[in-house]
Amino acid sequence: MDELKQAAIELGWILSVPALAACVLWGANELYYRSFGRHKARAILTTGLVGTPIHELAHAITAMVFGMKVTEVVFFRPDPVSQTLGYVNYRYNPTNIVHRIGMVFTGLAPLLFGAYLVYILFALAEVPNLHTFFLLTDYRSLSGGDALTAVGEWGVALFASLNTWQAIMAALLAVMIGAHSTPSKADLKGCLRGAAAVLAVLLAYWSVMKMLPSQPELLIGKSIEVLNHVSTAILQLALISSLFALLLSAAGFALSKVIWRRGGNLPMEEEKSGNPLELSKMG
């Protein structure tokens, strides 16, 4: 029983790494969209032209891989009523363990697809990936000075590489993909339906690996290595969104200073009561 408990604790720490990266990406995207101010809805629509079809395609492909029947795919159709940009409908058997596991991966698919699509785009355009400078291993790897130094060096190398049209296009696509890679509320609800099955399978696998007389350390090490690579790819999306948000905020601040100096006063804006309509990034 102690071995099982220890295995569960270790597994929890390992799974917290990609979860941490996903949370950082969510926060970075919120910062990115807030930097547009009252133009936020327009920014969501613009980035959604690229990000939403990739988001929905990731859902559809993953659902089919796990044997679920996709009944409808809408790659991009903004709907102010439902506040969606696109969606995928699929059927599953709640008693089928493969389908329940598949629901988790289908819900998280845009996050994984987006992270590695950007990774591939950067490699093709000869833009440096974060993995060359830093690898996210746990929460402590973000708290040290070495992490900040590595991220700073990557940021400098990233901007220095934007000297070709291929690199600039890769960076712009990365922003548009990353902005729509986070799972929507509907995606997370789908994940919850199969979360217990996935955790049970992972715990069983990890427990067997830990309790075997001759521990297959190589297999365990490779599993952790893959998760760390995935986590770093997700973190890269978050940092890209953060960098562009800071640039937009700085540009907006500089523009407001120019307007202030030329006109003496900033233009007044009429404010209406009620909540403005915002399109959610949903799949």
pLDDT in tens, 53-78: 999 999 999 999 999 999 999 998 88
DSSP for residue 91: E
173 pLDDT band, cuts 50/70/90, is very high
Beta strands in the chain (DSSP E): 69-74, 87-91
Domain boundaries, the chain: 2-248
HSE (side-chain half, CA atoms, 13 Å) at 31: 20
Residues 6+ apart with CB under 8 A from 240: 28, 118, 171, 174, 175, 178
> Residue 167's pLDDT is what?
93
Cα-based torsion angle of the residue sequence 190, 12, 210, 218 in order, rounded to the nearest 10 degrees: 80
pTM assigned to the model: 0.75
What are the tokens at 262? 């030329």
Task: Indicate the average pLDDT of the chain.
Answer: 75
Contact 33, 248 (CB under 8 A): no
Per the CB < 8 A criterion, the answer to whether 215 and 117 are in contact is no
Q: What is the pLDDT of residues 235-266, one digit of tens each?
A: 888 788 777 767 766 665 565 565 556 554 43
Q: How far apart are CA 162 and CA 199, in angstroms?
A: 42
The DSSP output letter for 130 is G
pLDDT exceeds cutoff 80 at 150: yes
CA dist list (Å): 215 to 37, 92, 116, 201, 207: 54, 37, 31, 18, 11
